[in-house]
Amino acid sequence: MLDARLRPLIDPPLNAAGRALAGAGVTANALTFTGLALGLAGAAAIAFGQIGWGLALIIANRLLDGLDGAVARARGPSDLGGYFDILADFAFYVSVPVGFGVLSAANTLPALVLVASFVLTGVSFLAFAVIAAKRGATTQAHGKKSFFYSTGLAEGAETIAVFIAMCAMPAWFAWLAYGYAMLCVLTVFQRSAMAVSAFRD
């Protein structure tokens, strides 16, 4: 919901940094995998009760996630890079609620519900992208991407805001998880309505 609106603000500094990194020989895939490692380490830190470290590593993950796309734009995007990027994103997204689930038994059920909602959202996102590509649809609402990005209520910016809130208020994890899971489910319905409109023969 917010990602497309934030792009005009965050893209100029990211693109400048991406050009500098690309000029220094840094590859987008290297940033993707480094970011994934930091994100998974953040989830592990949360699981061991080091929530402050977890938050710092989550923010580092998101910074590198932005930079890998900027480097890809500078060097020229690749299909393999796009595949690794989306794979790393979803691996990171599910790891954070898992970390909170390991942290406390009281978090287990809301963590499972949130992970399930992420899976549904991811399936709707990727299925829409496949069919949109098959039909030759294009969009740059989220910047230049390797495949079609459909807009939804729950996107990257909202997910990170919720993760930050979870780290800042871990006692409220269950309520935040259930609330965001509901938003993810609404996103699936929203995207399904978009599919009905766009893909009806």
Classify 201 as helix, strand or coil: coil
Structural domain of residue 22, as residue ranges?
3-199
Number of domains in the chain: 1
Beta-carbon contacts of 28 under 8 Å, excluding residues fewer than 6 positions away, are 68, 69, 71, 72, 75, 77, 78, 81, 85
Residue recorded with tokens 């990027």: 85
Residue 42: predicted pLDDT: 98
pLDDT at 128 (0 to 100): 83
Euclidean distance between CA atoms 201 and 182, whole angstroms: 30
* pLDDT per residue as tens, the chain (201 positions): 555 565 666 667 777 888 899 889 899 999 999 999 999 999 999 999 999 999 999 999 999 998 998 898 888 878 898 899 999 999 999 999 999 999 999 999 999 999 999 999 989 888 888 888 787 766 655 455 555 566 777 777 889 999 999 999 999 999 999 999 999 999 999 988 888 887 887
**CATH number for 193:** 1.20.120.1760
